[in-house]
Amino acid sequence: MKNNKFIVIEGLEGAGKTNASMCIKNTLNQKNIKNIILVRQPGSTPIAEKIRKLIKNKFDSDELTKETELLLIYAARIQLVKKIIKPALKNGMWVISDRHDLSSLAYQGGGLGIKKKIISQLKNLFLKDFVPDLTVYLDVAPKIGLKRALKRNTLDRIECRSLNFFKKTRKIYLKNISLDKKIIKINANLNIDTVNKNIEKKISNWLQKKNI
């Protein structure tokens, strides 16, 4: 029987999702799980990567409406789920995704104020009962996350939003993780070694519970 899983990493910018992806992959490798693919959202197919550019770049002569932003992100997600994630899972691969639909609820719902009902309708229409086996939510204070993101490069269109936007986004993340037993919360304000140790420990426990 296949025991491969779909694992999602969530959190604000600078939470350390890229680092967490590698940490989870290494933890799986240690358990002799080697058939793993890493994807990111929006992105990871040629079309979804084009949409990613539309989402992240600033346009002087035009501005995405919040509804357009939501629909573009969902379009990229559907492309990735149908073309890559579902076929990979069917073929026994493990999939680690940097973000999934909880990001839409947090950013476009919490941050931009689109009604939860609308986002849930999109989810029900296109993802149906396709849900991650596990979500690792990296909880970082918006100020700390943005400071880390700033150190790395110039800020993109979304990263330029106000601190209040990210506070509202985090609030929705926290609300949702309290409702879902398949979400693990990690304190991402701590130093990177401690964060990695905590991720490794929680993933190992989870695998053990699943008899993997």
Tell me which stretch binds ligand Z5A (CB under 6 A): 60-68, 81-89, 99-107, 177-185. Answer: 99-107
Tell me which stretch binds ligand Z5A (CB under 6 A): 35-43, 121-129, 177-185, 204-212. Answer: 35-43
Q: Kindly report the CA angle at 60 between 59 and 62, in degrees rounded to 5?
A: 65
Binding residue (CB under 6 A) for ligand Z5A from 6, 14, 72, 186: 14
| C-beta nearest to ligand Z5A: residue | 16
Residue with tokens 């939470």: 15
What is the C-alpha radius of gyration for the chain, rounded to an integer number of angstroms?
Answer: 17
Binding residue (CB under 6 A) for ligand Z5A from 64, 75, 78, 158: 158
From residue 44 to residue 83, what is the string marking binding to ligand Z5A with x (rule CB under 6 A)? -----------xx----------------x----------
Q: Is 148 in the site for ligand Z5A (CB under 6 A)?
A: yes
Binding residue (CB under 6 A) for ligand Z5A from 4, 27, 41, 45: 41
CA torsion 82-28-184-84 (nearest 10°) is: -10
> Is it true that the peptide bond before 42 is cis, omega within 30 degrees of 0?
yes
Nearer to ligand Z5A, 15 or 36 (CB): 15
Under DSSP, the state recorded for 66 is H
Q: Is 104 in the site for ligand Z5A (CB under 6 A)?
A: yes
Residue 123 · residue 189 · CB < 8 Å: no
d(CA 127, CA 102): 12
- How many CA within 13 A on the CB side of residue 58? 9
From residue 108 to residue 137, what is the string marking binding to ligand Z5A with x (rule CB under 6 A)? x-----------------------------
Q: Token digits for 42?
A: 């929006």
Burial 20-30 (b: 16+ CB within 10 A, else e): bbebbbebbee
Q: Is 38 in the site for ligand Z5A (CB under 6 A)?
A: no
Question: Around Cβ 120, how many Cβ atoms within 10 Å?
Answer: 14
Binding residue (CB under 6 A) for ligand Z5A from 44, 72, 159, 168: 159
Residues of this chain that bind ligand Z5A (CB under 6 A): 11, 13-19, 40-42, 55-56, 73, 99, 103-104, 107-108, 148-149, 152, 158-159, 188, 191-192, 195
